[in-house]
Amino acid sequence: MTAKNSSESKPPFFIVGCPRTGTTLLHVLLDSHPRIAIPPESHLFVHFREIFDCYGDLAEESNLRLFVKDLLSDERIRKWGLEITVSDFVRQLPTRSIQDVVSLLFELYMKQKGKVRWGDKTPDHILEMDTILKIFPDAKLIHVVRDGRDVAVSLKRVFFGPTMVNKAAELWRRYLSIFQEFKKRVSPDQYLEVYYERLVSDPGSELRRILEFLQEELVTYGNQVPDTELRRCYLESNESPVHQSLMAPITAHKIGIFKTQLSARHMEIFESMAGDILRSYLHWKEDLLYGRDFEEAWEELNKFLLHHEEPLYRKPSAEPLRGYAQRDRSYTTYRTYTRPENAQPPRRDPQEHLRKDYENLEVAFKSDFETVKKQYKSLLRKYHPDRFDQDPEKYRPATEVTKKLNESFNRIKEYHEHRS
């Protein structure tokens, strides 16, 4: 990778998007540019936006010092490794404003890495874009987009993601809807939308487009994830199981994984809740409206519910929903019918499922939560599907194992939260 040095000033940029869309991959790739430094996720505007005004007039020494102290002591900012006191920080400020305080924070990290331009990657900053542009009017926004159905599959495999497809659809739709509205309020030259599918299919071409948008010198990127300090930081962090793909070459094999990882019913549910956004954002429209026989889907669902001793549901008399416009006839409005009189559920240990969850995580029943959490992370490192990217035969069972681990962990976590 080669590039010419330049000392010209460029505006900051912010990488945003729904979780599990490829923002981390883009983070590592752009941070490897010889001019660009992007620290670990700051979450700065998520954490501080609501209390910016609470610090009062920053021209007041006490207000300014308190603001700087809170920033430097923030858990995520401490991970940047900035070795500076509040007094030294204040002395380096050109003016006493929120913009200059935030700018200096990132510039200190930037200079620490020997770079000349800074950016930020925090997916949740998509919720704070108006605040970002109020403080940095010339900032650039890079929105990473991925097929929401693939996002739903990926979210089910990580500890922080919703495991139910309807919740994943809601999350994905919310994030993309927010950016759609944001685009109406800003100039087209202030934002760029990057498709995960293009990024992993042809990293060189897509990164060239991104660097042109940022008005940065072009560099050569291949299909390998650069072995940088930031990449190692991700792989050595507590969240390393969810970043295992950084260990493998960049490939397109995860495009369309929903076709084999989601059931037909789950595809219908997702498309009923977010089909309008899928149509407006994505180019593979032939995959929309899965069209499975509706009676077959309901038979499968009823068997599942019967097995779990829950009320059964009967499909509505209306036609099966096809797209978001018919959402009012979705699965949330189905009416119940009664279980046959002769179907007597067997008596079970009320904590049978919980025992099974502990067994799945290979820990003793009712172990303390820290023990469970430690073992959960250990098993994720062992079985995470990203470890088997190049082995399709192992990839699918690894996905199933990870799904079960996530479900068991979340139920045990809920159990402990209710006890506390």
Distance set, CA 398 to CA 252, 266, 374, 385, 413 (Å): 19, 20, 19, 5, 22
Q: Is 345 a domain residue? A: no
Shared domain check, 321 and 188: no
Q: How far apart are CA 352 and CA 348, in angstroms?
A: 7
Q: Is 2 a domain residue? A: no
122: left (phi over 0), alpha (psi -120 to 50) or beta: beta
The runs of H, that is alpha helices, within 202-330 are 203-213, 229-236, 258-261, 264-281, 294-307
Shared domain check, 364 and 322: no
Shared domain check, 186 and 49: yes
Shared domain check, 43 and 192: yes
Q: Is 114 a domain residue? A: yes
Distance set, CA 390 to CA 70, 251, 252, 393 (Å): 45, 10, 11, 9
User: Could you tell me the CATH number of the domain that includes residue 151?
Assistant: 3.40.50.300
Q: How far apart are CA 184 and CA 170, in angstroms?
A: 22
CA angle 220, 224, 228 (to 5 degrees): 85
Q: Is 336 helix (H, G, I), strand (E, B) or coil?
A: strand
| Structural domain total, the chain | 3
pLDDT of residue 314: 35
User: In sequence order, which residues have a C-beta less than 8 Å from that of residue 121 and are 6 or more positions away?
Assistant: 14, 15, 23, 24, 26, 27, 38, 41
Shared domain check, 309 and 213: no
Q: Are 188 and 214 in contact (CB under 8 A)?
A: no
Structure tokens at 152: 């739903």
Q: Is 270 a domain residue? A: yes
Taking Cα atoms as reference points, which of 212, 178, 193 lies closest to residue 15?
193
Instruction: Point out the domain boundary residue: 337, 372, 397.
Output: 337
pLDDT of residue 370: 87
Q: Is 116 a domain residue? A: yes
Q: Is 370 a domain residue? A: yes
Tokens 């874009």 belong to residue: 129
* Terminal Cα-to-Cα distance of the chain (whole angstroms): 53
Q: Are 142 and 192 in contact (CB under 8 A)?
A: yes
Q: How far apart are CA 242 and CA 155, in angstroms?
A: 10
Task: Output the CA torsion 378→156→420→51 (10° steps).
Answer: 110
Shared domain check, 267 and 243: no
Shared domain check, 134 and 37: yes
Q: What tens-digit pLDDT sequence spans the chain (420 residues)? A: 433 333 357 999 999 999 999 999 999 999 999 999 999 999 999 999 888 889 999 999 999 999 999 999 999 999 999 999 999 999 999 999 999 999 999 999 999 999 999 999 999 999 999 999 999 999 999 999 999 999 999 998 887 888 899 999 999 999 999 999 999 999 999 999 999 999 999 999 999 999 999 999 999 888 999 999 999 888 887 666 777 788 889 999 999 999 889 998 999 899 889 988 888 876 544 444 343 343 444 454 455 545 543 433 333 333 333 333 333 333 333 333 344 455 555 555 557 778 888 888 888 888 888 888 888 888 877 777 777 766 666 676 777 777 778 888 888 888 887 776
User: Could you count the other beta carbons within 10 Å of the beta carbon of residue 311?
Assistant: 11
Shared domain check, 168 and 45: yes
Q: Is 115 a domain residue? A: yes
Shared domain check, 129 and 38: yes
Shared domain check, 325 and 196: no
Shared domain check, 268 and 230: no
Instruction: Point out the domain boundary residue: 304, 337, 370.
Output: 337
Q: Is 6 a domain residue? A: no
User: Could you tell me the CATH number of the domain that includes residue 407?
Assistant: 1.10.287
Domain carrying residue 396:
352-419
pLDDT of residue 285: 40
Buried b (16+ CB within 10 A) or exposed e, 357-389: bbebbebeeeeebeebbebbbebbeebbbbbbb
Tokens 């330049």 belong to residue: 6
Instruction: Point out the domain boundary residue: 216, 247, 278.
Output: 247
**pTM (2 decimals)?**
0.69
Buried b (16+ CB within 10 A) or exposed e, 275-305: bebbeebbeeeeebbbeeeeeebbeebeeee
Tokens 């699965």 belong to residue: 331
The runs of H, that is alpha helices, within 237-360 are 258-261, 264-281, 294-307, 352-360
Shared domain check, 234 and 295: no
Q: How far apart are CA 384 and CA 242, in angstroms?
A: 8
Taking Cα atoms as reference points, which of 17, 71, 66, 26 lies closest to residue 44?
71
Question: Using the 8-state DSSP alphabet, how is residue 136 labeled?
Answer: -
Structure tokens at 299: 């038979």
Structure tokens at 370: 């820290």
What residues pair up with 145 in beta bridges, in sequence order? 195
Q: How far apart are CA 404 and CA 357, in angstroms?
A: 9
